[in-house]
Structures are given as C-alpha cells and as structure tokens.
C-alpha cells in the first residue's frame, strides 16, 4: 500500500511550512518555529524518526510474546507476528492517507474530521486508558526487576536485593521514587518528540542486548543438548483449548500499538514523504526483534515459559556465568523500559491536555499547563504502580479494548466513513475485515480470560 499519494510530492514536502491550524484539534503543538522559546529546528531525520517509532512499538509487550508461542506453537505464532505487522502497516496507511486528505495533523483531529467532537473525545479517552495502563505496567516491571516482587505468593528477589541484600534504600517504593525523579521526570520535560531520538536509539540497543543474550543462552543450551525443540503447532484437544488460542490477540495487538505517535513523528519529519519508509523500516526492525525473542525465549524455557518471560530469568540457567547473564538480561530490559517511558508519555500528555482544554493554545506554548499536566500524570502513574500489585490481567483487557480501538477499529472506521471519497473498494473490504477480526478475536479473548479467572477462583475456594 502507499502512503500520502494524495498531493504532489513538492506540495507534500513543503506542507510543514504551511501548518494547518485546526482549532478543534489541539492534540499536537504547532510547528516549532511558530512559537517562542524554541531552538531552531529544521525537522527530524529519517533515522531519528525510525528509532522513535521503534521505541514506541517495542515495550513491555515483547515480554509476553514467548508465552504466545506456548499457546500457538512456533509456526502459527511466528506467522501471526508477521500477519500483525502487515495489518498494522495497513491501518497506519489508512490514518496517514485520510489525514492528508483532510489536512489534519493528529490522530484526534482525524477522528474529529470523520466523526465530529465525540469521535475526537473517544479517541483521546482510549489513548489515556491505553497509555496510562502501559506506563503503570512499565513501572511495575521496573520495580519487580530492581526490588523484587511477592505478588505471586512467592518472593522473587530483585537485582539490587541480590547484589546488596535487603535494605530500605532498595525497597520498591524508594527505588521507584528515585527512578521517577531521576529518569522519568527529566525525560518527560522535552516538548519535541525528536528530542528523545538519542534515548530512543539507546533503548532499541538495550532491547537488542536483551535479545542477543537470550539467543546466546538458547544456542549454548541447545548445543549442549539440555533443551529440546519446542512445539511447532498449537495443542488443541477440546473446545476450551481452541478458544484459548484467541487470548494471544490482545498481546499481539498491544505489541504493535504505535498509532498515537505516528502523527507526532510525521509532523516533525524534515521530509514528510519519508513517513512511509519510516513506518515500514520500524515495523520490519521490530518484527525481527519480536520473532527472534519469541523463538529463542520459547526455545529456552519451553512449556515453562511464564506470561512475563523476564520472570524466567531469576532461576538457575544451568550454564557458566548464569547468574551474571540473568542480571544482564533483567537490567538491560529494565533500562530499556525506562527509556521507552517518555515516548509513550508524550502522546498521553497531549491527549490529556486536548481532553481537558480543547480550545486552549497548543500545550507546548503554555509552560504552566505543560508542567501541571506532566506532574499530575506522572504522580497518577507512580501511585498506580505502587498500589496495584499485578496488572497483567488488566493489561490484557486493555489490549482487548482501548488498544484494539486505536490500532484497528478507529482507522477502519475512518476508512468506511470515507468523508473525502478517496477509499477504494479494496480499502473498504480490508477495513471491514479489520473490524470483524478485531471485535470477534477480542470478545473471545476477554471471555476466555474471564472464564479462566472465574474457574481458577472457584477451584481455590474451599469446599463445604
């Protein structure tokens, strides 16, 4: 599919200098050279845009991908990862093509253009639900890795506790306070998403470090004959196990959600015609990381793979320097999540401001509003991470609701609405397919999760 073929190339390349002012869509700041207080900014580079979009994609979802192989088997699991990448590319193409036609510069203004005020508000609410949930998960994982967790009933020591023993200063709350004040808050203060390109590049590198170590451990154990090839196909024995296959859909949807940041990255590109290769390069990079992580993670732990594969790395790997490698895997990915945090926080802040102050001037031009919104959201996320013991089930429900709306239902709905009469018959068929697949798969996933949860609770209840 093509992206942005609605206007001539020359016009599209220069559209940044003629910013469209949309009073109904304050989700994104105007071009930086229109506001006071900005340094000279000539546009983001292709590489910086790829790293920012890749960082948006690769988050905590990667930790659950090896567990999807346990459900689907390697062949179907890898095929689903590739299929979701192509479907994500198609949905982003819809967003950008209809944004070009409507001269809108944000996801919210696109929804407003197609469905009016209520469409824009619904989009903003979904971004808030999705991103707050995701960021709380990130902070919980960081706390689990550094300080340990007892949420499962069994205490898993954190890295700091393993290194220095149990002290007040490596307790969960204090570690998260230091992380929030020392890392999250400074990185959240940038007003341009392109300012995060270097931390994004580092976060991608840390994800690669995690992948390289996992691959190395799996190959060593495979050569020593201590692990066997895992299942290639799903193990379907009854109707319950068949419905369980659909529970991986929210995880795969969440793994590719980046739609809320595409417009921000597109708006800052030096050459807006590069957005198509930016998206496809980022999706290809992330899909490669996903496939390798899923394959080697499942190969390493087999049917013992946990929902969060990071938790598998607190056990004896049975190889030399296993303890050191365990710590390297956990620390590298905790650091990765710390650097992903501001990328996901950026659109969260914009959408919160757009929801609360729809008629105000751009957020980047109001320092007081910017500061209060930033502090309020970070405080909310911090409290959520400290008072919610485990939200993996909630994370999966979020993927089945807000995330699937952002990733597939909204782009397909805009295409079917076709307010500017540019959708082809093929586009509308694909849009209908997206909606049917998203709604059916996620309804089944929610039902299966709820059924499994209630069944587990009924089993644990004492009998009379």
Return the H-helix or E-strand segment holding 222. Answer: helix 197-223
Asked if 374 contacts 188 with a C-beta cutoff of 8 angstroms, the reply is yes
- Lookup result for tokens 């899923």: 294
Residue 28 has pLDDT above 50, yes or no: no
Which CATH class for the 57-456 domain? mainly alpha
Determine the average pLDDT of the residues in 423-439: 91
Per-residue pLDDT band at 391 (split at 50, 70, 90): low
Q: What is the dihedral of CA 216, 217, 218, 219, to 10 degrees?
A: 50
When mean pLDDT is compared over 83-87, 137-141, 167-171, 367-371, the highest value belongs to: 83-87
Q: What is the pLDDT of residue 377?
A: 93
- Encode 34-61: b = buried (16+ Cβ within 10 Å), e = exposed: eeeeeeeeebbbeebbbbbbbbbbbbbb
Asked if 81 contacts 291 with a C-beta cutoff of 8 angstroms, the reply is yes
Q: pLDDT higher for 293 or 364?
A: 293
End-to-end CA distance of the chain: give it in Å, rounded: 62
> Distance between CA 353 and CA 357 in Å, rounded?
6
Q: What is the dihedral of CA 312, 315, 317, 320, to 10 degrees?
A: 140
Q: What is the pLDDT of residue 137?
A: 82
The model's pTM: 0.77
What's the pLDDT tens digit per position in 434-458? 999 888 877 777 776 666 666 666 6
227: left (phi over 0), alpha (psi -120 to 50) or beta: beta
């Amino acid at each position: 599919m093509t992206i942005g073929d609605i206007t001539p190339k020359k016009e599209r390349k220069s559209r940044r200098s003629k910013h469209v002012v949309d009073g109904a869509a304050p989700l994104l700041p105007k071009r930086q050279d229109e506001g006071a207080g900005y340094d000279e900014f000539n546009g983001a580079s292709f590489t910086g845009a790829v790293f920012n979009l890749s960082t948006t994609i690769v988050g905590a979802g990667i930790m659950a991908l090896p567990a999807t192989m346990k459900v689907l088997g390697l062949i179907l699991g890898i095929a689903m990862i590739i299929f979701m990448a192509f479907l994500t590319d198609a949905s982003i193409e819809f967003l950008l093509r209809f944004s070009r036609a409507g001269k809108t510069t944000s996801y919210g203004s696109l929804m407003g253009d197609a469905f009016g005020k209520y469409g824009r508000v619904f989009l903003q609410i979904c971004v808030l639900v999705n991103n707050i949930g995701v960021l709380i998960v990130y902070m919980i994982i960081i706390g689990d890795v550094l300080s340990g967790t007892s949420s499962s009933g069994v205490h898993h020591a954190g890295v700091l506790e393993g290194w220095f023993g149990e002290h007040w200063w490596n307790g969960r709350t204090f570690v998260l306070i230091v992380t929030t004040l020392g890392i999250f808050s400074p990185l959240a203060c940038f007003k341009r998403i392109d300012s995060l390109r270097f931390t994004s590049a580092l976060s991608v590198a840390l994800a690669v470090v995690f992948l390289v170590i996992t691959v190395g451990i799996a190959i060593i154990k495979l050569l020593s004959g201590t692990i066997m090839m895992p299942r290639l196909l799903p193990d379907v024995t009854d109707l319950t196990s068949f419905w369980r296959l659909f529970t991986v859909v929210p995880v795969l949807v969440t793994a590719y959600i980046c739609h809320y940041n595409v417009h921000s990255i597109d708006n800052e590109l030096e050459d807006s015609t590069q957005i198509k290769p930016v998206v496809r390069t980022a999706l290809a990079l992330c899909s490669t990381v996903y496939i390798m992580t899923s394959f080697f993670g499942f190969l390493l732990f087999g049917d013992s793979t946990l929902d969060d594969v990071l938790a598998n790395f607190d056990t004896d790997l049975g190889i030399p320097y296993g303890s050191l490698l365990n710590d390297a895997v956990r620390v590298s990915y905790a650091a990765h999540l710390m650097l992903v945090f501001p990328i996901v926080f950026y659109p969260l802040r914009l959408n919160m401001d757009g929801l609360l102050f729809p008629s105000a001037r751009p957020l980047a031009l109001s320092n007081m509003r910017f500061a209060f919104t930033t502090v309020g959201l970070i405080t909310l996320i911090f409290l959520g991470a400290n008072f919610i013991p485990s939200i993996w089930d909630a994370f999966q429900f979020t993927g089945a609701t807000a995330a699937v709306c952002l990733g597939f239902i909204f782009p397909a709905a805009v295409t079917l609405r076709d307010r500017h009469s540019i959708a082809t018959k093929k586009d509308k068929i694909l849009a209908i397919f997206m909606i049917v697949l998203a709604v059916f798969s996620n309804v089944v996933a929610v039902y299966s999760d709820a059924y499994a949860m209630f069944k587990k609770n009924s089993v644990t209840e004492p009998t009379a």
